[in-house]
Amino acid sequence: MQPGAGGGAIRVLNVAEKPSVAKAVAEILSRGSMQSRAGRSQYNRVFEFNYAINGRACRMLVTSVTGHLMELEFEDRFRRWHSCDPADLFHAPVRKSVPQDKQAIKQTLEEEARRCQWLVLWLDCDREGENIAYEVIDVCTGANSHLNIYRARFSALIAREIHESVQHLGRPNKLFADAVDARQEIDLRIGASFARFQTMLLKDAFVIDVTGDDRNLVLSYGPCQFPTLGFIVERFWEIQAHEPEEFWTINCTHTSDEGTASFGWIRGHLFDYPSALILYEMCVQEPMATVQNVRNQEKLKYPPYPLSTVELQKRASRYFRMSSERTMKVAEELYQAGFISYPRTETDNFSPNTDLHAIVREQVEHEVWGAYAHRLLSPEERLWRNPSNGGHDDKAHPPIHPTKFSRGENSWSPDHTRLYELVVRHFLACCSQPAVGAETTVEIDIAGEQFNASGRVVLAKNYLDVYRFDSWGGTLLPTYNIGQQFVPTTLTLDSGVTRPPPLLAEADLLSCMDKAGIGTDATMHDHIKKLLDRCYATKDENTRFSPTNLGEALVMGYDEMGYELWKPYLRSMMEADMKSVSIGTKSKSEVLQSCLQQMKACFLDARVNKAKLLDAMGTFFARSSRPINETQNPTEVVRPCAACRESEMVLKQRQTGGFMVGCRGYPQCRNVVWLPGSISEASVTNQVCPICTPGPVYKIQFKFRRRDIPPNFDADHLGCVGGCDDILKELMEISRFGSHSHTATPARGQTPNGVRQGAPRQDLHTNFRPAGQLNNENPSVMHSQGFRSTHTQNPNAGQVLCTSCGEPCINRIANTEANRGRKFYKCQDPGCGFFKWEDELDNATPRGRRGRGSSRQAPASASAGRRGGSQARGRRGRGRNADGGMFVSATGDPVSGCCFTCGDPSHFANACPNRR
């Protein structure tokens, strides 16, 4: 871009990626004469100064963001873990917006953009930086649609590059931004779906105490993270599968006045001992050695290619034992301070236009490598050699090289000093001649067996003089001539054992990732760190990785399924697709569709074969003793909870086999819907009820026991618990009183008469209504179906009481030929003979008690009378579930105590808010 001269001064909003970069750019362009003021964010200041771009007077305003300004996320109704089937996340709506913690930065950009004519983007010159640039564009053009938008491209925070960049402005690259958008969406959808699937399937099923708090454990999945774990596990399995095997080899030495030469057997070794022994005895019987060949040749050891990001991480790990994460952090800080070029680059060759001599000249004054830099620039030394071309160029940044001289800053840590030294020495080595050596190889024959020995002498060290990290040693051989004979000083038959390969070191892991195309040069260290943070792998003091039981179990599970989700192929294909988007050969939508379609198919297959994942986990971890109802399949979400409005109601199966719909927010929320014991099977479907609200309310496929329902009803019924299903109401009403599972089963610590010993009472009363009066305004409480609410009143209304003992009766359906389907009441005490047909009930039959001084009731509606059969009983309304056990919670489990005043199990009487 060449803005024309003339006209009045224009206001230019300059936006950098970090506050430190904004300050450095402003200081360079203003030559230190800038003004500074606070922005809306205390960390992102605004710098102002006058400047001329191609002769055009400008009022420059420089501010910054802090990395990505926006976040990609699912819409609110899909963000909670139990809000939907994880498979839905492959097509659920997503949005990109500014999070709350960056609203102040957004306000600064909007306010400044309204008063400017130009927007110049100083984001890092890679795909990620281009994506951030378009986030800034979205915010700024939202406030001022008339902005003229430009892009500054630079690789080092030094005056020469910054001034050059602002005088040659370009335009942002939308294709780069689209490639990152595609990657972000793919990673979000794949990661969220598999992470939810794994976590909800495995966390509560096994005792996985890897973090100290297994209840908050997240078993994350990442399309780059898992292939990286796969490299570690695969090497670990290779080591485990290794079977040591003994071998034998023949070695000989010869000592003369010039020294000792060690000759190795050309066969290497044999695994068959008799064969090795026979050959050895032949050599012993005829030990005379004859020199058959002597080769002398010049050898060159070439300096390394210019430094790319991955190579920087590998060498820092190998030389200094620095982690890749630490390496990138230190390199970023050196770059922001202007000492090295941009540290995220795939390029390993210098442009012909780069003034390499000027970079070397800046290092001449250094007390350690300055003398070598001086020799390098001297024509007489003939040490200079243009750097080799590594064959990679990302078209954005040059290789990593020093940009400013330093003897070491006071603020530097030892890691900063070491990394700066590596960058400088590596650059000087790249510009140097290779090391020169003379290598001698001697071949001898003993009894028909061939042996050889090699020696080397370095004639000119050249780049090795400055690159102290490399060595090129060798032994000096005595002089031998062809045809010369001698008797070996020693001749031995030695044994050894094959050894497995070592665990992967960090440098080796980075090489595996780089070759397979897993991640980018700027993200590889993040994937490695996540494996350690998630406790999928560990790293020892030698930077070698081992999988944890958790990491190995997850890989083993997917491997047993036959899916190579832990292999690099899928991700490498995705990375290739992202590159295609960045160069325009594929569209973002095309890549999203193909990648997500492929991964959703893998996800659905994995869920069908989840038993193999469970089996793999069972190999390493003990099964959990938690109640079955806590181990929920994510597809069992029924509806949002109308009580707490923060969690979901889910279908659960109790330890007794019965079903319930309870809030996941228990114990904070105790909203629960009890389902009768006549249901033998229940599962949530993907069908949404079009009537019931708040939704979505998913329908449940019920299977009733045939003996508990009339013959004119189907045992299989697709029903809705939201209140709209009249058939379900009738089935639940009938089956509840005809259930064969209503025999009381005393809970732990409970006497046979249903009163728990030593436990406070629990007020779980139910205010019954006729079947047609289901409360759809509070859909979590279906009173007419025996669904219980912990906050209703009138405990004994509508019950049929035994005229002999005064206790509530139980209701049954006759199955005899003459009275099939006819309902009757009988006393719970087998020794009591009270019996009454329901259709013969009259006013003389007691219908419930109203506490002290209660009077007998007149007959209520039939449905109301039936509901009293197995409802609350005991002193002050102790609640009982359909199986006779005490209940207060959304899980259906008994609790140890509750408030004696109001019955709320969340507190005791001394803290009751209703206490008088």
Distance, in Å, from the CA atom of 436 to the CA atom of 462, rounded to the nearest integer, reads: 8
With a CB cutoff of 8 Å and minimum separation 6, the contacts of 818 are none
Extract the tokens encoding 218.
């997240």
Contact (CB, 8 A) for 509 and 528? yes
User: Taking a C-beta distance cutoff of 8 angstroms, is the pair 646, 669 a contact?
Assistant: yes
What are the start-end ranges of the H helices in 477-548?
506-516, 524-533
Closest CA to 843 of 827, 865, 873: 865
Distance of CA 16 to the CA centre of its chain: 29
Cis check: omega of the bond before 694, within 30 degrees of 0: yes
Give which of 626, 624, 627, 604 is closest to 614, Cα–Cα: 624
Q: How far apart are CA 847 and CA 516, in angstroms?
A: 77
Residue from 729, 679, 683 nearest 705 by CA: 679
State the helix-helix crossing angle for 610-620 and 549-561, rounded to 10 degrees. Answer: 150
Listed as own residue / partner, the contacts of 827-830 with beta carbons closer than 8 Å and 24 or more positions apart are 827/802, 828/744, 828/802, 829/802, 829/805
Q: How many CB atoms lie within 10 A of CB 583?
A: 11
Cα–Cα dist 299/435, whole Å: 8
Would you say 852 and 828 are in contact if contact means Cβ atoms under 8 Å apart? no
Listed in sequence order, the DSSP H helices in 450-563 are 506-516, 524-533, 549-561
Q: What are the residue ranges of helices labelled H in 5-85?
A: 19-30, 76-79
Contact 561, 194 (CB under 8 A): no
Sequence-distant (6+) residues with CB within 8 A of 109 are 13, 15, 63, 65, 136, 139, 140, 143
H or E element that contains 358: helix 356-361
CA pair distance 263, 261, nearest whole angstrom: 6
Which residues partner with 442 through β-bridges?
Answer: 294, 453
Q: Match 């090129």 to its residue by tokens.
A: 472
Distances (CA, A) of 538 to 48, 503, 507, 543, 619: 49, 11, 15, 9, 20
431 vs 304: CA distance, rounded Å: 10
The two three-digit tokens of residue 433, written as one number: 């001649």
Nearest to 672 by CA among 685, 683, 688, 658: 658
666 is a catalytic site residue = no
Give one DSSP letter per residue of 742-756, joined into a string: -S--PPTTB-TTSPB
Distance CA 521, CA 519 (A): 7
Tokens at residue 21, please?
Answer: 């970069």
Q: Is-contact 118 54, C-beta < 8 A? A: no
Q: How many CA atoms lie within 13 A of 693 on its CB side?
A: 1
d(CA 876, CA 869): 17
Cα–Cα distance, 209 to 116 (Å, whole number): 56
Residues in Cβ contact with 532 at an 8 Å cutoff, skipping those fewer than 6 apart: 538, 539
**β-strand partners of 460:** 436
Q: Are strands 56-64 and 10-16 parallel, antiparallel or unpaired?
A: parallel
Options 134, 280, 335, 342, the catalytic residue: 342
Residue type at 510 in one-letter notation:
L
318 Cβ neighbours under 8 A, 6+ residues apart = 505, 507
Which residues are marked as active site? 342
